[in-house]
């Protein structure tokens, strides 16, 4: 058994998982959470427009990382890995980010490729699934990118057949298209068009028609599941492995798009840091759902609370 710490720094959020990972004789891995935490730091603020990480975004990320470092040391993590995804891949001043993470954490963050991001998400997402329900298509909707990965799972190891990361996510789509409060019909139509075009690159690279089960991971998907279920408070145990139909995805998206910022902020399950971008993420999810209904005859989404963070932890064992 190893106690490990995984940190995932995305466009919108930074998350920490401290976990005990046990490797069994058959090679399978079992993960027990010791500490799991998420903060919205919006590292990707304005990156799509400026190509640079904003000073205030770096400051927010540094503050969260200082606290995370204290936690993982207090919990006795033996191995630490931090990965950074879309925002830092795109930023012209990313060296400043690396210097900061190395100074605070003691190990430099790794900027992973979109394909590796997809593979780690796949490993985390399928671990609770029955192998016979595959092949699995895992969709990870982040702040700046969305990953699609297709593969199988034998109960011990994941076997990835195809993966593709494309530059569309809840922050990027909101900043690019959804400017009014609430968004106008014209803005929504533009957002749908942009999401459809960009996601088309992923569908061209990943043979989704082979999939039997579609799994959605990360904050946009889990938040939408909590909204759809009208939970009184966010509860990961109640959202994990819940299922949403295509109609539920459509209805929840329409509901969020019709709301003002103030109305969305009043929904208790939406984290304050997601209020302004959750409708953009919902558009991405709805486009995915409608395309999968057409291309793969899949009309149900399986929601997973386990994702790239769990995949990083498994890889450290």
CATH of the domain at 86: 3.30.420.40
Do 258 and 176 sit in the same domain of this protein? yes
Q: How far is CA 26 from CA 23, 30, 316, in A?
A: 8, 11, 17
pLDDT at 86 over 70: no
Quick one: pLDDT at residue 216? 96
Q: For 215-227, what is the mean pLDDT? A: 95
Structure confidence by residue, pLDDT tens digits, 273-293: 899 999 999 999 999 999 999
Quick one: pLDDT at residue 139? 95
Residue 23: domain span: 2-114+308-316
How far is 260 from 276, CA to CA, in rounded Å? 9
Q: How confident is the model at residue 90 (pLDDT cuts 50, 70, 90)?
A: confident
Residue 266 phi, psi dihedral angles, 5° rounding = -80, -10
Do 288 and 312 sit in the same domain of this protein? no
Do 161 and 52 sit in the same domain of this protein? no
Do 84 and 139 sit in the same domain of this protein? no
pLDDT at 121 over 90: no
Number of domains, the chain: 2
Q: For 68-87, what is the mean pLDDT? A: 91
228 falls within a domain: yes
Structure confidence by residue, pLDDT tens digits, 170-205: 999 999 999 999 999 999 999 999 999 999 999 999
Quick one: pLDDT at residue 240? 93
Cβ contact 285:170 at 8 Å: no
Do 187 and 247 sit in the same domain of this protein? yes
User: In the chain, pLDDT over 90 holds for what percent of residues?
Assistant: 68
How far is 174 from 227, CA to CA, in rounded Å? 19
Quick one: pLDDT at residue 69? 97
Q: For 224-252, what is the mean pLDDT? A: 95
Do 93 and 197 sit in the same domain of this protein? no
pLDDT at 294 over 70: yes
CATH of the domain at 232: 3.30.420.150
Structure confidence by residue, pLDDT tens digits, 126-172: 988 888 998 999 999 988 889 899 999 887 677 889 999 898 999 99
Say what the alpha-carbon torsion angle 220, 225, 226, 230 is, to the nearest 10 degrees: 130
C-beta atoms surrounding 114 within 10 Å = 20
Quick one: pLDDT at residue 27? 61
11 vs 105 pLDDT, higher one: 105
45 falls within a domain: yes
Do 149 and 55 sit in the same domain of this protein? no
């Amino acid at each position: 058994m190893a106690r490990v710490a995984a940190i995932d720094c995305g466009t919108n959020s930074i998350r920490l998982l401290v976990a005990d990972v046990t490797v069994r004789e058959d090679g399978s891995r079992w993960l027990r959470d010791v500490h799991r935490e998420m903060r919205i730091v919006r590292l990707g603020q304005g990156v799509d427009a400026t190509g640079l990480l904003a000073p205030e975004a770096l400051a927010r990320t540094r503050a969260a990382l200082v606290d995370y470092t204290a936690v993982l040391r207090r919990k006795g993590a033996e191995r630490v890995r931090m990965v950074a995804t879309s925002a830092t891949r795109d930023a012209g001043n990313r060296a400043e980010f690396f210097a900061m993470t190395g100074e605070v954490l003691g190990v430099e963050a790794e900027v992973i490729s979109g394909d590796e991001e997809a593979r780690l998400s796949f490993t985390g997402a399928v671990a609770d699934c029955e192998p016979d329900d595959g092949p699995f298509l895992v969709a990870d909707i982040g702040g700046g990118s969305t990953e699609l990965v297709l593969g199988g799972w034998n109960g011990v190891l994941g076997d990835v057949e195809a993966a593709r990361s494309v530059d569309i996510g809840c922050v990027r789509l909101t900043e690019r298209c959804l400017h009014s409060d609430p968004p106008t019909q014209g803005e929504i139509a533009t957002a749908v068009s942009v999401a459809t075009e960009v996601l088309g690159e992923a569908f061209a690279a990943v043979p989704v028609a082979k999939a039997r089960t579609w799994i959605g991971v990360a904050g946009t998907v889990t938040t939408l599941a909590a909204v759809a279920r009208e939970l009184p408070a966010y509860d990961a145990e109640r959202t994990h492995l819940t299922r949403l139909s295509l109609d539920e995805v459509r209805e929840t998206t329409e509901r969020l798009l019709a709301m003002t910022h103030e109305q969305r902020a009043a929904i208790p399950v939406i984290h304050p840091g997601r209020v302004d971008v959750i409708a953009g993420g919902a558009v991405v999810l709805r486009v995915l759902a409608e395309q999968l209904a057409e291309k793969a005859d899949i009309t149900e989404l399986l929601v997973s609370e386990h994702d790239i963070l769990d995949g990083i932890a498994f890889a450290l064992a």
